[in-house]
Amino acid sequence: MKNFLKKNWRICFLMYIFIYLPWFYFNETTIIPGLPIIHIIHCSLDDLIPFCEYFIIPYMSWFLYIFFACLFVLYKGSDSEFLKLAISLVIGMSLSMAICMIYPSGLNLRPIEFPRHNIFSYLVSLIYLSDTPTNVFPSVHVYNSLAIHISISKLKVLENYKWVKNCSLILCVLICLSTVFIKQHSLIDVTGAIVMMIVLYVGIYVLDYSKVFARVKKTKEILE
């Protein structure tokens, strides 16, 4: 078992899904619409954004984007590149779930009736049925998209494939926009996810912990 874990430690991170999915299900079935503890997330700018069912395409593409990008980094990224992505996803998703439990949130942005009836509106209705308008702050959809794009943009194996990085950026932006255009999230949820990504980006990609620990050690020696 020890040798297996040593050789296949990357795959072990996939086990987090068996923590996240039950956690997500617990939040979805416990923090439900109508509870007095739910904080309605809303800002005036939300009312200026029209409902647009066509954004369901980038919204649903999120699932493929996350799956194939993670698979690509798993097999093509260096140990450091994969570890940074894995840590950013595990910490970010865990923080999102924890925040939803500490600060239960919900939305009242969904349209009562769709302005147009087409296949795209139908797909939106399926999303509405499967996903309650609760546990929305911060947006996991937005956070994961940002985490994936940052990882893709830093992969050395894609150093000479700028078009791949550009496609990732475009898709990332469209996914983030889709959350507000199909009324799955408020701009506050999006902002919360961006702020969380900025903080974790500094902690995961910017800080050189060897230097930090060296400074702490040096300071400790001086004080002693």
Average pLDDT over residues 49-55: 97
Element (H, E) at 114: none
Task: Specify the pLDDT at position 154.
Answer: 96
Q: What is the DSSP letter of 133?
A: S
Residue 85 class from Cβ within 10 Å (0-12 exposed, 13-18 middle, 19+ buried)?
Answer: buried
Hunting for tokens 């230097």 — which residue is that? 211
Q: How confident is the model at residue 23 (pLDDT cuts 50, 70, 90)?
A: very high
How high is the mean pLDDT of the chain? 91
DSSP per position, 101-167: HHS-EE---S-SS-SS-SHHHHHHHHHHHHS-SBS-SS-HHHHHHHHHHHHHHH-GGGTT-HHHHHH
Q: Please tell me the pTM assigned to this model.
A: 0.91
Q: Which of 170, 206, 210, 195 is nearest to 92 (CA)?
A: 195
